[in-house]
């Protein structure tokens, strides 16, 4: 089954390595992950005063995330932390209180950097926020992708053969399996609960 995945890229840069990586991940699991990029560059800064009359861009963003079966964050690290544009998008999607579009959606977090630490700091800040937002976040493989450059990709935007491609391929498969496991488990629990309530009703009327 193909799962709908909303991809949020934490860089607005035209030649973003993170955007290239996001596309490469979709290419690897294109058979089972129906990916769409959800743009965040036009979102007005979150302001709680606007909750009662939200800007159109906030509405558009929320409506794009809502039907997704899972969310993939692919982001650079800025100053050892989460880029402001990405945090703003997450804040926009998380409100009004009690109506978060992220609630219960399985997620994975990939950080990409030309540097050697691979965005570890940003990765864990995003993870911390996702935990609060009640998103089951894939734990393994961890994806702090360091030493990434334009040269990591071929002319078609595919990752060149090598250890990076192997890791990203493992990751893409693991993310599909993670989303699949969460959705199947929930369906099984819902079925069990329906059977249990039918059995309870039958007992009442016996
Ligand atoms: C404001 C700013 C802060 C940055 N801070 C970090 C950092 O803390 N760690 C890191 O690995 N790279 C840092 N970088 C370098 C980015 O990893 C690099 O520019 C990367 O290509 C950005 O991702 P993108 O290609 O998807 O736009 C920083 C870049 C900018 C513009």
What CATH number is associated with residue 48? 3.40.50.360
d(CA 46, CA 93): 10
Which pLDDT value is given to residue 54?
A: 98
- Asked if residue 84 has its Cβ within 6 Å of ligand 1, the reply is no
- The answer to whether residues 95 and 51 touch, using CB atoms and an 8 Å cutoff, is yes
* Number of structural domains in the chain: 1
Domain containing 154: what range?
3-204
**Whose CA is closest to atom 29 on ligand 1?**
78
Which pLDDT value is given to residue 150?
A: 98
In this prediction, residues 86-105 reach a mean pLDDT of 98
Which pLDDT value is given to residue 110?
A: 98
Cα 63 to averaged position of ligand 1 atoms, centre (Å): 29
Q: What is the DSSP letter of 43?
A: P
- Asked if residue 71 has its Cβ within 6 Å of ligand 1, the reply is no
- Asked if residue 100 has its Cβ within 6 Å of ligand 1, the reply is no
* Ligand 1 atom having least distance to the Cα of 80: 8
Nearest CA to 113 among 133, 83, 89?
83
d(CA 69, CA 65): 9
For the cut 90, the answer to whether the pLDDT of residue 76 exceeds it is yes
The dihedral through the CA atoms of 116, 132, 9, 43 has a sign that is: negative
SS3 assignment, position 99:
coil
Which pLDDT value is given to residue 203?
A: 87
- Residues 145-196 have pLDDT tens digits of 999 999 999 999 999 999 999 999 999 999 999 999 999 999 999 899 888 8
CB-based burial label for 80 (10 Å; 0-12, 13-18, 19+) = exposed
- Percentage of the chain beyond pLDDT 70 is 100
- Asked if residue 80 has its Cβ within 6 Å of ligand 1, the reply is yes
């Amino acid at each position: 089954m193909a799962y709908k995945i909303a991809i949020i890229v934490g860089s607005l840069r035209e030649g973003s390595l993170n955007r290239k990586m996001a596309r490469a991940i979709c290419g690897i699991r294109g058979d089972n992950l129906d990916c769409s990029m959800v743009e965040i560059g036009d979102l007005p800064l979150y302001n709680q005063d606007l909750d009662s009359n939200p800007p159109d861009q906030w509405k558009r963003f929320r409506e794009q995330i809502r039907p997704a079966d899972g969310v993939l964050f692919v982001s650079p690290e800025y100053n050892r932390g989460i880029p402001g544009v990405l945090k703003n998008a997450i804040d926009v999607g998380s409100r009004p209180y009690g109506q978060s579009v992220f609630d219960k959606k399985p997620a994975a977090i990939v950080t990409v950097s030309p540097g050697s630490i691979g965005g570890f700091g940003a990765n864990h800040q995003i993870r911390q926020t996702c935990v609060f937002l009640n998103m089951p976040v894939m734990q393994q493989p961890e994806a702090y992708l360091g030493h990434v450059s334009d040269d990591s990709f071929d002319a078609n935007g595919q990752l060149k053969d090598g250890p990076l491609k192997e890791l990203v391929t493992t990751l893409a498969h693991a993310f599909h399996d993670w989303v699949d496991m969460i959705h199947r488990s929930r369906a099984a629990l819902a079925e069990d609960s329906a059977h249990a309530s039918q059995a309870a009703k039958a007992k009442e009327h016996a």
